[in-house]
Structures are given as C-alpha cells and as structure tokens.
C-alpha cells in the first residue's frame, strides 16, 4: 500500500479536492499514526494523501507537478532508500514554496534543509493543526509574492 487518497466520510473525489480544498501529503510508516494525522487534518478542513515511504511520496504526480499538495508532513525515519530529510531536500528543489514539516521521536541528525520545520514526537494534535495552519498561510503569501 503506497499511496492512499484519504477523503473518507466527506464524499469528495480528488478532482473536487483539487478545486475546493488543499491537500496535505502525510508520509509516515506507522499506519496507525499516519491515519490519526490524516483524520486530524481532515477535521481541520484539509484533504489528505497518505504515503508510507519517501519514494511513494515522490511517485505521486501531484507532488511532481506541485499541484494539489499544499503541505508535506513527514516522518524523518522511513523505510526505503530515502528518509524524510532526503524527501524534504527533493521537495525544496522541485517546489521551493511547498511547506514541509518533518517529525521524529529523535532529534534530526545534521541540519534540516532551509525552510523545513521540525516537530518532535510525540506531538500534540493541536500543535499539528496550528503548525499546518501556519505553514499553509506562509506558503500562500510566498507563492503570491513569487507570481
């Protein structure tokens, strides 16, 4: 199970999500935690797309084109060749204004890419909602200045 669009209970397909609501790409190998974050963000009026690895996240057409995805929330320690920091670096090269928040139960080893935020685990639900709201409002301002 690589990529799971998550719009349960809302009756929204991805075409509608693209037009009406912004989506957060959640990259977390712990399925229970990934689903919890998705439910939380959906209650905050965002659509979510779930991936269990950085490679699965990069394989999504939405991320490659910079459309649909308004923010990435990713664990640092992920299965596969790439970790969350590698994902953040790749995202910065492809979509410099796309907000990225990395999370981990361990302090990040080395420096995070410029503009990437860190949220230590265990995070509180309200902290995730506030961080997402802040990241999304900053990305809207930066994107409007760039255009």
106 vs 18, 60, 103, 110, 145, CA distance in Å?
A: 34, 27, 9, 12, 35
> Which CATH number characterizes residue 9's domain?
3.40.50.2300
Reduced to 3 states (helix: H, G, I; strand: E, B; else coil), residue 57 is: helix
pLDDT attached to residue 92: 92
Domain count of the chain?
A: 1
Q: What is the pLDDT of residue 109?
A: 86
Dig out the tokens for 20 from the structure. 């009406």
Write out the residue range of the structural domain in which residue 37 sits.
3-146
Mean of per-residue pLDDT scores for the chain: 82
- Give pLDDT tens digits for 89-134: 999 998 888 899 999 999 998 899 999 999 999 999 999 999 998 8
With contact defined as beta carbons under 8 Å apart, do 37 and 26 qualify?
yes
Chain segment 16-31, per-residue pLDDT in tens:
444 456 789 999 999 9
**Predicted model pTM:** 0.81
């Amino acid at each position: 199970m690589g990529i799971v669009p998550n719009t349960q209970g809302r009756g929204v397909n991805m075409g509608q999500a693209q037009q009406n609501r912004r989506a957060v790409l959640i990259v977390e190998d712990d399925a229970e935690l990934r689903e919890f974050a998705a439910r939380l963000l959906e209650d905050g009026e965002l659509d979510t797309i779930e991936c269990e690895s950085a490679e699965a996240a990069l394989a999504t057409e939405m991320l490659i084109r910079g459309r649909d995805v308004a923010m990435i929330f990713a664990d640092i320690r992920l299965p596969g060749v790439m970790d969350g920091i590698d994902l953040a670096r790749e995202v910065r090269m492809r979509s410099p204004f796309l907000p990225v928040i990395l999370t981990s139960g361990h302090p990040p080893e080395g420096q995070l890419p410029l503009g990437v935020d860190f949220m230590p685990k265990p995070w509180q639900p309200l902290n995730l909602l506030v961080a997402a709201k802040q990241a999304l409002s900053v990305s809207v301002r930066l994107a409007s200045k760039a255009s």
